[in-house]
A and B are shown apart, each in its own frame.
Chain A
Amino acid sequence: MTGDRGEPILRFEHVSLFFDEQPALDDVSFALFPGASCVILGAAGSGKTVLLKTAIGLVKPDRGHVWLFGRDITAIPESELVDLRSRVGILFQEGGLFDSLTIEENVAYPLLNQRALRCPRDQVRARVEAALARVELEHTLEKYPSELSGGMRRRVGIARANVTEPPLVLYDSPTAGLDPITAHTIMTLILKERDTKNTTTVIVTHRYQDGHLLANFRYNPATNRIEPLAHDGRHAASDTKFLVMREGRLVFEGSQAELEASADPYVQKFVKPLRN
């Protein structure tokens, strides 16, 4: 799409992955450049989660190559992969918070365990508090995940994904199963993390509104709210890429305008909800 942005931060090249001979990813290719945002849409079971997990090498593709920060992660040993992962933040669909640890310990986990970060021990507490303050949960340090509501757990997940200030953050269905107001709060926090630190952001969602927010809004630190980008829209569209997955295949890749103009009925299904 753009040739002047240097090397992609994440690139898939003809990636296929099978579970019991059923393809979960089927010849998927795309590239994501630093500073861009990416929205992955698709029905349940279309392979969105598997795609994110493949991106950081949690599952290995059967065919094809994945480049993360310019390294082919299908060809490097696990120890190097562990170091690469310390530059990626991830929010899991099912939360992935450790129930046996407190909120503080959960958010501190990447700082203490990702050795490539070399985070001094005496800085951990301050960084955890700052990350939790950004998601407005600074009062929950001593609590356990089971004591928090679903929306609060997501916010802890966002704090944990961003506490290391990674250049790339992946969010798997951050708004799934939440009421519209909480979902909006979550999206605001995601935009906040993206726009205050300029992180490359990937979100998986089945709600087109989430993608619309990511593409057309930005976080304003002065008001602590999100606001529409300048009216030219062009700038926004070029920075946010939309991908649509169907049964493991990437059936659409392009800008929001291209997505809305698509004639494919499957793709159209994800655009419609915003219009009524």
Chain B
Amino acid sequence: MLDLLKPPILAFQEFFLLTGRTFRNLFRKPHYVDDITIQMDIIGVGSLPIVMLTGFFAGAVMALQMSRALNQYGATDQVGQIVSITLAREMGPVLTALLVAGRNASGMASELGSMKVTEQIDAMRALGTDPVQKLVKPRLVATAIVLPLLTIIADFVGMFGGWVVACPMLNLTTSSQYWSMAWRSLEYNDIAQGLIKPFVFAIVIALVGCFYGLRTTGGTQGVGLATTKAVVVASVWVFVLTFFIGKFFVSL
């Protein structure tokens, strides 16, 4: 039993060591601004199309599914409120994070993993650079900036998707009613949790991706394994954390 628990506990410990080292280096020079920009481009611009597509259909599906229930209570004019609150609090942050975990946690794990197995990480250290500074920090900073922005975009596109279903398609409510409901129902609490979530998810996604990349062993096969693990672990953490952050805001 103890032997069974040892590897995950050790991995957890190593993960926190990496987290600690990254945060200690956060404000320490050098900053490798170019690498941050490149990563922001890969994560942000690269994920934008799928984030918008997913956001649109998430909003549309929500309006569609809610239409029947709202009809029963004769409250179809509330559809804007339901779509916007669900998106801002939960769907926007979680869906965007899952997409970015799938695209970028895997990308980071495979990139750093292949660097590890070809001894580029060792070379980096031997030649005077700290891989945490040069590789992990730019990915963390870039994800932490970009993921909240992507989430905001997903939220808006999602509301638009909801509007397409609610107004032109099903005539649940008028356009002005939809948008004013969508706006007015959002409280500070919703917006705060809608922005804190992606920020926390970003930190976890970047660190998990880099962590599994940096501890890759066993050649090319190991890289595939690291990639899969990074996506799975990052996605599970997104769900776990959204629950706890949500719980915190509910109890406020």
Contact = CB atoms under 8 A, between A and B. Distances in A.
A56 interface: yes
A82 B131 CA distance: 13
A92 B122 contact: yes
Interface in A126-185: 160
A97 B127 contact: no
B128 A86 contact: yes
A58 B126 contact: yes
A96 B125 contact: no
Interface stretch (B70-78, B90-98, B113-121): B113-121
Interface stretch (A63-71, A107-115, A264-272): A107-115
A96 B128 contact: no
B123 interface: yes
A98 B128 contact: no
Interface residues of B, number: 13
A157 B128 CA distance: 16
B119 A95 contact: yes
A94 B117 contact: yes
A227 interface: no
A259 B83 CA distance: 79
B120 A110 contact: no
A98 B122 CA distance: 11
Contact of B119 (A88, A94, A110): A94
B21 to A, nearest CB: 10
Contact of B128 (A92, A94, A110): A110
A93 interface: yes
Contacts of B119: 92-96
A98 B118 CA distance: 9
Nearest to B125: A58
Nearest to B219: A94
Give the residue among A56, A92, A116, A160 with the most B Cβ atoms within 10 A: A92
A206 interface: no
Given A113-B128, A113-B129, 17 more contacts: A85-B126, A90-B126, A92-B122, A94-B117, A94-B118, A94-B119, A96-B118, A96-B120, A96-B122, A96-B123, A97-B120, A98-B115, A98-B124, A99-B120, A109-B127, A113-B127, A115-B128
12 contacts: A85-B126, A85-B127, A90-B126, A92-B119, A94-B117, A94-B118, A96-B119, A96-B120, A97-B123, A109-B127, A110-B127, A114-B127
Interface of A: 53, 56, 58, 82, 85-86, 88, 90, 92-99, 109-110, 113-116, 160
